Chains A and B, each alone.
Chain A
Amino acid sequence: MAGQVARLETFQPEIVAFCCENSGYLAAQMAIEAKLSYPQTVTLVKLPCSGRVDALFLLKALENGADGVMVLACQKENCKFLKGNVRAEQRIEATRKTLQRIGIQPERVAFCHLAANMGHKFVEEVRGLYGKLTELGPNPGKVRK
């Protein structure tokens, strides 16, 4: 028990957040400017649209050391490219399924809709995933550690 607590204390989940440059990325910038605190182990990846995200990106991030990944997309009906956020969500669903089939918890993949001015929501989402990953422990499938 003590060992487990110690492990939980030292484990800091690595997160790769794929952010649409029209929403998620701006929200992250806002959080930074407003000096809202969020876990330091988050790597932001800027995408021209959440629709650019692909199963390949998510899997590669997880394989190469991430404990969890997230996709931050524009609000529903608000994608600059009309359906990018819908497609992103479909692909995330598919990725969760393939992860489940190889024995990796699908909750390691998070998805949310937000707007450019929602710095607080960005922080909330990141903390949410961070908390979940802390409970789940390290990604058992990561190949590069």
Chain B
Amino acid sequence: MIIANGKPIEEVLKSLEGHKKVAVLGCRGCVTVCLAGGEKEVGILASQIRMAREQAGQPVEVLEGTVERQCDYEYFEQVKDIIEEADAIVSIACGVGVQGVAETFPEKVVYPGLNTMFMGANLNVGVWAERCQGCGNCVLEISGGVCPVARCSKSLMNGPCGGSQNGKCEISKDVDCGWQLIYDRLSKIGRVDSLRNIIPPKDWSTSRDGGPRKLVREDLQLESGK
């Protein structure tokens, strides 16, 4: 899932300076699950904004709304009223949702309320970690199910590098060396010998490096679709 975290409230308040009526818009997708942008967080952020502005002597009206998914634009229909009423929107969906608001309501000012961080897993209550970078050309089959792109600090294809020690990466004793994990996994499944082969430079053209990406599935497209 996409993991996001609330922006510092000061930053949100700064963007809202001068606005009189604001809508805080949540999303019931990933950001609800990672407790950053669901209905509850909408309530919390809205209260914070109202109280901060009240005590600063610049009261603001804050409307609250949460949709199923901000990355499926049809859901914005449900909150059209409050969006139209507000003079600025704070979306606390991931960056996709914020842009969804901007695209759907081209004349509205929209601000991000979260920092969208990574695609990751929930390891423990309150702990998430990155697992995939969406490189568009998955190599997990050769790396024993541990991603070298996301989990090696240098995205090396032929690790571990000389900085790997005691299972940790050279960048920090708190970061596991991704390649040590790959090594351990491949050992467990009896394929450690495969590390003897040189893995050629990765084709990054399927990644962000190839420019903004788009997926079109003809099998699914509707004639009426965009």
Q: Do chains A and B touch in the complex (CB under 8 A)?
A: yes
Contact with B along A61-80 (1 / 0, CB 8 A): 01100000000000000000
Interface residues on A, range: 10 to 19
Check B52–A102 contact: CB distance below 8 A.
yes
Asked if A35 CB lies within 8 Å of chain B CBs, one says no
Partner of A140, one of B9, B43, B55: B55
Asked if B44 CB lies within 8 Å of chain A CBs, one says yes
Instruction: Mark out the residues of chain A between 81 and 125 whose CB falls within 8 Å of any chain B CB in the assembled complex.
Output: 98, 101-104
- What's the Cα separation between A56 and B40 when bound, in Å? 7
Question: A101-B8, A102-B13 are contacts. A141–B44 as well, Cβ < 8 Å?
Answer: no
Q: How far is the CB of A83 from chain B (nearest CB, A)?
A: 11
Asked if B56 CB lies within 8 Å of chain A CBs, one says yes
Asked if B54 CB lies within 8 Å of chain A CBs, one says yes
- For B54, the chain A residues whose CB sits under 8 A away are 140-143
Contact with B along A36-59 (1 / 0, CB 8 A): 000000000000000000111001
Check A104–B44 contact: CB distance below 8 A.
no
Check B43–A141 contact: CB distance below 8 A.
no
- For B51, the chain A residues whose CB sits under 8 A away are 59, 62-63, 102, 104, 139, 141-143
List residues of A whose CB falls within 8 A of some B CB. 54-56, 59-60, 62-63, 98, 101-104, 139-143
